[in-house]
Amino acid sequence: MALSCVPGDKFKAGQEVILFTGTDASPLVKLSVGDNPPAIYNVTVSATGKLAQDATISISAGSQELLDAYNAEHGTSYQPVPAASYTLDSDKVVIEKDAAISGQDNLTISDISFMKNGVQYLIPVEITGVEGSSLEVLPTSRVMYIRLARTVTFYSLSMDNTNLYSEFEFPADKAIELNQYTYEIKCYPTNLKTDAAEQICRLCNFTGPTSGGARQNMLRFNENGRPWKSLQIVTPSGGDYTTTTIFDENQWYMLSMVFDGSTYQLYINGEPDATVLNSDEHTTFQRFEIGMSWGSYAGSQNFAGRICEVRVWDYPRSKSQIAGTLCGTDPATEGLRAYWKMNQSSGTTFTDETGNGYDMDWTKSIREPSDGAGYQPNPGAASAISWIKDAKNTCSE
């Protein structure tokens, strides 16, 4: 078993210790929960060498104090699993003489009715004592955190029909001034084109009012002169962020644009892109654009694919926070100002799940049909709304 030391450990390399099996790299483990419980996690405890005599290890599960401490340390918002919904077979396991791993102690999830979409759940399991052995417990593996994970199926919005491409502007009293922020959108490109005269695929734009200048966060693939299938973001300062990451077709990407007041960083499926842009320009959110809606460019700069999970946060999200909400997030999460899941399956209004009043009725969208024409109502865009749910629309938490 590999065993590494971390700052603060008093153990020396090679020293034998006791720990939860499988937590030497990370104390966070996953338990997949299907639609029909039970779901079982086989809890075992290991020693890094065979024992000279039997050792009894006491364990407990469900400490709210440990859960709160984990959330505080990692900036996450995991919720507890109700005590009535799971059982731990025993509060003790034994590592027998001449063995290095204990028998199994099953943690069983018997009921999932408490689980809500977009809410993450965690069960801390702790080693509370060791009898019969002088080996100490590795501090970083004294607690194992069992994360419940489901495979989510969902509807998404198709962007294949370019008549959909339009903008929605909220009233001035709904504008959000953002000195720090995170914008998110999940996309599934199906055709990022080939090298041609017009290869740009414009995805979306989070921006300010039509009368207040750009101050935009505009996303497009295949900008002229940039690496093929890279993503360019035009930032509020006019800065140019082009990803080091090269994208593939026919897979889902959660794009999280994080601005902490001085640095602009893109996270892709929870992992930071290698590019970092220094900037000190804040932004205003008052308008959201799907695709390229200006003039005749809608047809030539089309993005073929799907979108869902569009979010506006008023603070810079951390890596762990982003990674924990790739499939969805709790609409009541603090700092989430607007949230369009884009999964309604019918209708022409994109509902704001937060209840903060940012519903987008696409019959009231606008666009500028030609240079100098000014923004005009574009109710016809709503007729191009198409909802999709198939085998491609799955997400494993």
Q: What is the model's pLDDT at position 197?
A: 57
Q: What is the model's pLDDT at position 31?
A: 95
Q: Mean pLDDT across the stretch 353-363?
A: 97
What fold is seen in the domain 18-149? Immunoglobulin-like (2.60.40)
Question: What CA–CA distance (Å, rounded) separates 387 from 344?
Answer: 8
From-to residues of CATH 2.60.40.1740 in the chain: 18-149
Distance, CA of 325 to chain centre? 3
Residue 76: pLDDT band (50, 70, 90) is: confident
Which residue has tokens 């009725």? 361
Pairing of strands 336-340, 201-207: unpaired
Residue 82, preceding peptide bond in cis (omega within 30° of 0) = no
- Of the listed ranges 29-33, 172-176, 241-245, 291-295, the one predicted with least confidence: 291-295
Element (H, E) at 338: strand 336-340
CATH 3.20.20.70 correct for 153-396: no
Q: What is the model's pLDDT at position 12?
A: 53
Which SS3 state, helix, strand or coil, does residue 154 take? Answer: coil
Q: Mean pLDDT across the stretch 338-357?
A: 96
- Token readout for 41 is 């996690």
Task: Give percent helix, percent strand, percent coil of the chain, each to the nearest 5.
Answer: 10, 40, 50
pLDDT digits (tens, 9 = 90+) for 277-306: 887 778 999 999 999 988 777 777 899 999
Q: 166 to each of 37, 240, 298, 345, how far by Cα in Å?
A: 44, 23, 9, 19
Q: Is the pLDDT of residue 387 over 50?
A: yes
- Token readout for 375 is 């923004």
Question: What CA–CA distance (Å, rounded) separates 30 from 79?
Answer: 15
Pairing of strands 121-131, 143-149: antiparallel
Phi, psi of 103 (to 5 degrees): -70, 170
From-to residues of CATH 2.60.120.200 in the chain: 153-396
Q: Which of 59, 66, 44, 67 is nearest to 120 (CA)?
A: 67
Is residue 310 a contact partner of residue 340, using CB atoms and an 8 Å limit? yes
| List of residues 6+ apart from 7 with CB closer than 8 A | none
Residue 34: pLDDT band (50, 70, 90) is: confident
- Token readout for 370 is 């030609």
pLDDT digits (tens, 9 = 90+) for 174-208: 999 999 999 999 999 999 986 665 689 999 999 99
Question: What CA–CA distance (Å, rounded) separates 376 from 57?
Answer: 71
- Token readout for 22 is 């499988």
- Number of helices (H), then strands (E), belonging to the chain: the values are 3, 33
- Token readout for 34 is 């299907």
Q: Is the pLDDT of residue 7 over 70?
A: no
Q: Which of 351, 377, 375, 353 is nearest to 363 (CA)?
A: 377
